[in-house]
Structure 1
Amino acid sequence: MPAHLSSAEAAPAFDIHGLAKVYRTEAGEVHALRGVDFHIAQGETLVLIGPSGSGKSTLLNILGGLDRATSGSARFHGFELTAATDVELTRYRRASVGFIFQFFNLVPSLTARENVALITEIAADPMSPEEALARVGLDDRMDHFPAQLSGGQQQRVAVARAIAKRPQLLFCDEPTGSLDSESGVQVLEAIAEVTAAVGATTMIVSHNTSIAAMADRVVKFRDGQIAETVVNARKVAPREMSW
């Protein structure tokens, strides 16, 4: 959790108890999560690591309101996600959650500014697209189309789009997975900077174990369960990490 907060002082963003997810397929049941229990402090940055199929992205999708748990409880400041209606989950995602995925999901016919405006036009108290793009170092690329931007720049547009609504939660699923190391560092720098700027609780799923150094806590998954949780004594800036 953030270094200036003790576990007793930090207000929990999430209380998670017995969270399970079972997918039923023709081949049988797949247990993606098996009774996960833990708490996430407000403003904390977590990095979730583990092999493919260990439950990282499933947890992120449930906490982000994109998927539903089979059983268990996940409360966000008292709001019970596992009992919410589809309408309530849509409101929750729109008001509270910013998403960043491995693939940028930008609209190719819109400029960087216009891609961010898609979010700011429906948010309650957004930044301007210009402010959001400036925060990720793209103030000189606002009127460029995605095809005119590098992969790293496109992902930074996606970061700007995610944080423009000033989200309480920032969920990143393999945000550097399709980038070279230098572009990846730039994207992680943007995530770290905007997380601090908006005070978001941030969760980053990654196969790149080096990214763990930028977290307050590292949560290691195996077979649908939390195998280990490690508190970093010192958070390392993305530029200082070994890739």
Structure 2
Amino acid sequence: MPDPAVNDLAFSVRGLTKVYATAAGPVHALRGVDLDVRRGETLVLLGPSGSGKSTLLNILGGLDRASDGAAIFQGQDLTRDSDKALTAYRRDSVGFIFQFFNLVPSLTARENVALITELARRPMTPEDALARVGLSDRLDHFPAQLSGGQQQRVAVARAIAKRPQILLCDEPTGSLDSESGVQVLQALRDVSRAEAATTLIVSHNADFAAMADRVIRFRDGAITDIAVNPHPVEPREMRL
């Protein structure tokens, strides 16, 4: 019989290594990382710049390839997939949220989200996705008519509109003030819970740990600590 513990995993990472060739010599971005990620959990990845956390996120998102090791997503080894298979994986299973919103300035909030829903297999409507992040009254506003926090919430709506199994967030509040950052994190928490999405958030801000199920700390391309948070709090209760 299948191992239920294995079936409960979103990702199983073993010996994951990433080496970049530079003029100054090889740079070891990841050094044999091992990590299991359970379905539906929220992880916060902390560490200084260059510690490997964003590199791990990019490999798990199918945006970069490992030099060695394995990253298994529900039986699919992302480190050995073809480019075509990785494209399908990104399209069908992963929602990305980055520090910069990357909205199309000439399109409304509704139209920016529709760019994704037109490609997805089982999407929400743009209106539903924007309602999930509290922007029902901003459907026809252009990015220039929205605050930074509202633009990032449009980016969250765009990411979750295709109902991804995985949400990967790289410094999602890095360009926002504290109040807007809390609103974005709360939107992420609400939609990931509603969709039972596995969520990984990369940040420099140690305060993010309060909202995580587990906190993964990185240094020099390796995981130095994994801490379970027995009582995750709502972002609205956090002080950033």
TM-score (norm. length: structure 2): 0.97
Are 2:228 and 1:239 aligned? no
Question: Paired residues, what number?
Answer: 237
Unaligned runs of 5+ in 1: 1-6
Moved more, 8-17 or 40-49: 8-17
Are 2:215 and 1:223 aligned? no
1:38 CA displacement: 1.1
Hey, which bits of structure 1, 4+ residues long, moved more than 2 A? 7-10
1:121 CA displacement: 0.2
CA distance in 2, matches of 1:193, 1:69: 32
After superposition, give the CA deviation of every residue in 1:142-161 in whole Å (9 maximum; x if it has no partner).
00000000000000000000
RMSD of aligned residue pairs (Cα, Å): 1.1
After superposition, give the CA deviation of every residue in 1:96-134 in whole Å (9 maximum; x if it has no partner).
000000000000000000000000000000000000000
CA distance in 2, matches of 1:214, 1:199: 16
The match for 1:27 among 20, 24, 34 is: 24
Q: Residues 47 and 53 of structure 2 are in contact (CA less than 8 Å); yes or no, is this contact kept in structure 1? A: yes
Secondary structure of 2:194's partner?
A: helix
Unaligned runs of 5+ in 2: none
Q: Report 1:45-194 matches (<5 A).
A: 45-194=42-191
Secondary structure of 2:136's partner?
A: coil
1:9 CA displacement: 8.7
1:27 CA displacement: 0.7
Secondary structure of 1:140's partner?
A: helix
1:8 CA displacement: 4.7
Secondary structure of 2:15's partner?
A: strand
Q: Which residue of 2 aligns with 1:38?
A: 35
What is the identity percentage for the equivalent residue pairs of Structure 1 and Structure 2? 72
CA distance in 2, matches of 1:177, 1:216: 21
Return the letter of the residue paired with 1:161: R
Return the letter of the residue paired with 2:140: D
Moved more, 216-225 or 8-17: 8-17
TM-score (norm. length: structure 1): 0.96
The match for 1:205 among 191, 202, 206 is: 202
Q: Residues 7 and 74 of structure 2 are in contact (CA less than 8 Å); yes or no, is this contact kept in structure 1? A: no
